[in-house]
Amino acid sequence: MTRNLRLLWFQIRAQNRFFWRVPIGAFFTLALPIIMLLLFVALFGNDIDDARETGDITAAQFYTPALAVFAVGSATYTNIAINLSTRREDGILRRVRSTPLSPAIYLAGAIGSAVWIALVSMTIMVGIGVLAFSVNLELAKLPAMLLAFVVGSATFATLGVALAGFAKSASSASALANATILPMAFISNIFIDLGSDPPRYLRVAADIFPLKHFGSTFSEAMNPWSEVPAIEWDRLGVLLLWLVLGGIVARAKFGWEPSVGGSTSRTRRRRNPA
């Protein structure tokens, strides 16, 4: 057990180093949500809006938890799907299976690294919101925030592995990840506040997918009008259902071998000589 934990720790550290070696990934995961927060507050102002479904709160109070949740989704769901698909396409996952390292530990390391990066991103977002815009943060509701983060990040990390199982290549994984998480963000009160009476079909669609439930339960934990403990158990239950579904799909679909007919880094170099 101790040896496995030590190997897992080494894997998480190694995966973290790989993450920082790809600046574009770090930009979209860490910098973009911060830029969006600053832009939205500058564009929409930071006055209290009494038309919001979540109560009379400022734009910063709305966007800080919403974009923190989006950053967590990007760090887990998008990054895991793209990274695992890329490494499978390059034959790295196949080589991992030929080493003494357990594939389960390698996969757990990739997930653990993504969750750690998600925690860093969420902390930065909330810190900027509190320090720059006086966003509400109460110690009594901190357990609700951490519970929402743990369940939400685990759910989206599992869904990222499941998506990697469907993707035939790294490029298709990137397209699938963005084609799913961005529309979800628009209908889930992440990029825009749909108010208390959105079109029925949008409300139904948002209620089906997990991002709205993640955003709502995390926002509730930071809402100045919510009461302690500010835990939305029904939304956490929906996230857990998606966690189980993602785990079942990941177990059934995820593979370690490159797709038949797919290109590896070696074949890509042959086709595109330097």
The amino acid sitting at 139 is L
What pLDDT shows up at residue 142? 94
Two structure tokens written together for 229: 């403990």
What pLDDT shows up at residue 271? 44
- Report which of residues 27 and 236 the model is more confident about: 236
The pair phi, psi for residue 49, each rounded to 5°, is -110, 115
What pLDDT shows up at residue 270? 46
Q: Of all residues in the chain, what percent carry a pLDDT higher than 90? A: 54
- Average pLDDT, integer, range 104-109: 92
Q: How far apart are CA 87 and CA 6, in angstroms?
A: 23
**CB burial of residue 106 (10 Å; 0-12, 13-18, 19+):** buried
When pLDDT is cut at 50, 70 and 90, the band that residue 50 belongs to is low
Question: Which of 28-32, 70-74, 185-189, 267-271 shows the lowest mean pLDDT across its residues?
Answer: 267-271
When pLDDT is cut at 50, 70 and 90, the band that residue 155 belongs to is very high
Residue 261 region by backbone torsions, left for phi larger than 0, else alpha for psi between -120 and 50, else beta: left
Which tens digits make up the pLDDT trace of 160-169? Answer: 999 999 888 8
Say if residue 48's pLDDT is above 80. no
When pLDDT is cut at 50, 70 and 90, the band that residue 58 belongs to is confident
Count of alpha carbons within 13 angstroms of residue 216, beta-carbon side: 23
Query: Which CA distances in Å does 210 have to 177, 188, 196, 216?
Result: 14, 9, 19, 10
Q: Other CB atoms closer than 10 Å to residue 250's CB: what's the count?
A: 20
pTM for this one? 0.88
- Average pLDDT, integer, range 75-83: 93
